[in-house]
Structure 1
Amino acid sequence: MTMYTDTNNRLTALPHFGTDPGSLSADIYVPKNFPKNGPLVVVLHGSTQSPADYDLGSGWSMLADECGIALLFPGQRLINNMIGSFNWFKTGDSQRGEGEPLSIRQMIKQVVDDHAIDPSRVFITGMSSGGAMTSVMLATYPEVFAGGAIIAGLAYGSASNMIEAVMRMNGIGSPSDNRLDALVQDASDFDGPWPTISVWQGGSDTTVASSNAGSIVAQWQKIHDVEGEPTRVETVDGFPRKVWCAADGRVMIEEYIIEAMGHGTPIGAEGDKGLGEAGDYMLEVGISSTRHIANFWGLTQADAAIADEPKTAA
């Protein structure tokens, strides 16, 4: 197992952020070039990881330096979960106004207030249990986020206990598409505009079955009025990207399936635009999900066209 040391930690603790009913930790990174009314990205680590681990592997703070992005890293405590997973499947930690989701919402408010962040440019991403908790946050607090990116995660409400969670992770017994849609619709009183959705998944993942990516896409298709087959399929950095576009051409949902990849976050650490560092669940496959997610959200400049411009047809 790759071990990261404290010398790699670029993050600073956020000591106070409301009542914290989920008993989480919080770290932040605000680069020196962060502009007033700049964007915030919330980054959720996976099981057995710390915020510093995930930042080092994914390269988010490197990209923050490059593009002027503030970062918030919620952290799980072992007292809440013995392997450091977010409790996305527990009823008390998957509802609006309760547990871990409310703690994360309180952190976001604190950082937005402290650093003059544009509240219309708050985004969230996570991997594995962090990806599943990203689904929870997008469903329960959709008004907070302009977009979300779910990596090796699961659809919101797909499990309500540990046994169901293990079954869903293995691709067994997912709710119907209509039920998945209703779960999000019923999670809050929000009626749009909804956050855009980016889905990343390893096709050879034996921890979270790749069928979960399809469930996540299905959960958001009706909400975004983009049901059916993708609008187009492109090739980006050698990998297929499916996109579902609104009537005006805006991409509302994108999906990357990295066929030969196992369980983890896709990184591309090499080259001038490389980010991150390979390690446990941080998988060097030649494409940086971090950079492409930021592109999708319009947080980079030269590369932002990826969100709207087709590449090579697959």
Structure 2
Amino acid sequence: MADHTNRTQTRLADLVEATKLTGTGRLQEATDLIQRSLFGQQNTTTSPQTMDGAYRLDDGNEAATPHHPKSGFIPEGLQEQLRDALGQVARKFGLSSPSGSVTSGLEAFDPTALFRDGAGTVPPVSPIPPAPSEPWSAPDAPVREGAFTERSFSNAAGARDYKLYIPSRTVAQPPLVVMLHGCTQSPDDFAAGTAMNHLAEVEGFLVAYPAQSSKDHGQRCWNWYQPGDQGRGSGEAEIIAGLTRAVMSEYDVDPRRVYIAGLSAGGAAAANIALAYPDLYAAVGVHSGLAAGCAGDISSALTTMRLGPSGVLQGETARVPTIMVHGESDSTVHPRNGEQVLVQAGVDMLTPSVSDGVSPGGLAYIRTRYADESDRVVVESWVVRGLNHAWSGGDPSGSYTDRRGPDASRAMVDFFMAHRLDRPRH
């Protein structure tokens, strides 16, 4: 009974929060929050009516038995508050308020009525769930799809295929985000898991996904630990930089707003490339990755991944604005590597501001923002408790994702768009 009460109180808090969101016009976020709270759904186009096994009310516990919405889980003392919250949300959406008694759970009304449009259909859930108490927003209208095309690039350093997402709506001189996948992944897999194309459609930026080939690495990992692929003017670093410039030239990208990010081996490669080309990339995102130049061969790479860096890297003079996301429970790349990414970004010279929270999926996180002497945030850290080696808040249609965590893609885009190359380096 205590567990049922706690779950109901959580859902009630979600519904009250949804009411607040609708009051500020953030209708899509309110819809997403209600659907997650009542149905345990994210990123699905399946109507709650037609879900086999009915509605999930187990707070994300996949091993739990699905419950039916008519199972009477609402303690009497919370019933009227719940009805009032639902009624406010329904009225905000211009829909009919739930009618009848709620004394036996939700059996007196159809919860899907909250989400029906005039034609009686249930709109899909946005694949980008907002984090609570964060200034993130989702579009109020359905998002169209742009073009996701296969490309290839070559220069003196080598050649790689890549995919490019061009949103249906672009701005003049759009920004560009370069996304480097992890081992065994592909551009399509990484795009699905991060849902970065959705954000690109909302914000109007381009996304390039370079592809590592199996002939260049048996597991399709970027060779972040090879000296010939780490520095400026050679190997994979030069290929990715050249590919970036090619996209910039073809689509008149704003040269001040070009960014690079990656997961795991891709995160380590992104750190290498951003440090090698600080005149090209305005900021870097490193998710579950390692600091630039922290290994020089496969042996040192494996040791660093397992145990963390052996010492503080020295000699870097360029500081690139950096956002780091790492799972506290990462058993593939030790969390100490995330700490080293921050050290390399120069946090010892910055002023930290720490906040914490819990994601909609239930994972606690610590967010630290580091500001320079002008009070501009130039480094940001997200440490997620309970997250293993996976993209935080990612879509389960892609590999190495955990949708329970805070939305790493949204966090990175927000951080990126706050930085331009015309601002001085710290």
TM-score using structure 2 length: 0.60
Deviation, 1:175, is: 2.6
Counterpart of 2:304 (choices 168, 191, 196) is: 168
Task: Tell me the distance in 1 between the aligned counterparts of 2:322 and 2:246.
Answer: 24
1:27–1:279 CA distance, 2 compared to 1 (3 A): closer
- 1:244 lines up with 2:370 in the alignment: yes
> Corresponding residue for 1:127?
263
- 1:267 lines up with 2:403 in the alignment: no
Matches within 5 A, 1:39-188: 39-176=175-312, 180-182=313-315, 184-185=316-317
Deviation, 1:231, is: 1.8
Counterpart of 1:258 (choices 384, 396, 400) is: 384
Deviation, 1:9, is: 12
> Corresponding residue for 1:200?
325
Q: Secondary structure at the match of 1:205?
A: coil
Counterpart contact for 2:305–2:337, Cα < 8 Å: yes
Q: Residues 100-123 of structure 1: CA distance to partner in whole angstroms, max 9, x if unpaired?
A: 111101111110010010010001
Q: Secondary structure at the match of 1:104?
A: helix
Counterpart contact for 1:202–1:260, Cα < 8 Å: yes
Give 1:294's aligned amino acid. V
> Corresponding residue for 1:287?
406
Task: Tell me the distance in 2 between the aligned counterparts of 1:266 and 1:75.
Answer: 21
> Corresponding residue for 2:67?
none
The farther-off stretch of 118-127 and 280-289 is 280-289
Deviation, 1:30, is: 0.9
Counterpart contact for 1:267–1:278, Cα < 8 Å: no
Task: Tell me the distance in 1 between the aligned counterparts of 2:343 and 2:413.
Answer: 23
Q: Secondary structure at the match of 2:417?
A: coil
1:103–1:257 CA distance, 2 compared to 1 (3 A): same
Question: Percent identity, aligned pairs only?
Answer: 28
Q: Secondary structure at the match of 1:136?
A: helix
Counterpart contact for 2:261–2:286, Cα < 8 Å: yes
Q: CA RMSD in A?
A: 2.0
Counterpart contact for 1:20–1:106, Cα < 8 Å: no
1:280–1:9 CA distance, 2 compared to 1 (3 A): farther
Counterpart contact for 2:264–2:288, Cα < 8 Å: yes
Q: Secondary structure at the match of 1:113?
A: helix
Task: Tell me the distance in 2 between the aligned counterparts of 1:46 and 1:140.
Answer: 20
Task: Tell me the distance in 1 between the aligned counterparts of 2:175 and 2:186.
Answer: 23
Q: Structure 2, unaligned stretches of length 5 or more?
A: 1-144, 419-426
Q: Residues 123-159 of structure 1: CA distance to partner in whole angstroms, max 9, x if unpaired?
A: 1110000000011111111110111110010011110
Task: Tell me the distance in 2 between the aligned counterparts of 1:282 and 1:9.
Answer: 23
1:32–1:242 CA distance, 2 compared to 1 (3 A): same
> Corresponding residue for 1:11?
148
Q: Secondary structure at the match of 1:143?
A: coil
Q: Secondary structure at the match of 2:338?
A: helix
Counterpart contact for 1:45–1:129, Cα < 8 Å: yes
Task: Tell me the distance in 2 between the aligned counterparts of 1:80 and 1:50.
Answer: 14
Aligned pairs, number: 269
TM-score using structure 1 length: 0.81
Counterpart contact for 1:18–1:103, Cα < 8 Å: yes
Task: Tell me the distance in 1 between the aligned counterparts of 2:351 and 2:385.
Answer: 18
Q: Secondary structure at the match of 1:131?
A: helix
Task: Tell me the distance in 2 between the aligned counterparts of 1:214 and 1:146.
Answer: 21
1:86–1:97 CA distance, 2 compared to 1 (3 A): same
1:173–1:136 CA distance, 2 compared to 1 (3 A): closer
Task: Tell me the distance in 1 between the aligned counterparts of 2:196 and 2:242.
Answer: 22
Task: Tell me the distance in 1 between the aligned counterparts of 2:328 and 2:164.
Answer: 32
Counterpart contact for 2:350–2:371, Cα < 8 Å: no
Task: Tell me the distance in 1 between the aligned counterparts of 2:233 and 2:288.
Answer: 25
Deviation, 1:35, is: 1.4
Task: Tell me the distance in 2 between the aligned counterparts of 1:220 and 1:195.
Answer: 6
Task: Tell me the distance in 1 between the aligned counterparts of 2:280 and 2:402.
Answer: 30
1:34–1:46 CA distance, 2 compared to 1 (3 A): same
Task: Tell me the distance in 1 between the aligned counterparts of 2:237 and 2:415.
Answer: 24
Which protein is bigger by CA-based radius of gyration? Answer: 2
Q: Secondary structure at the match of 1:14?
A: strand
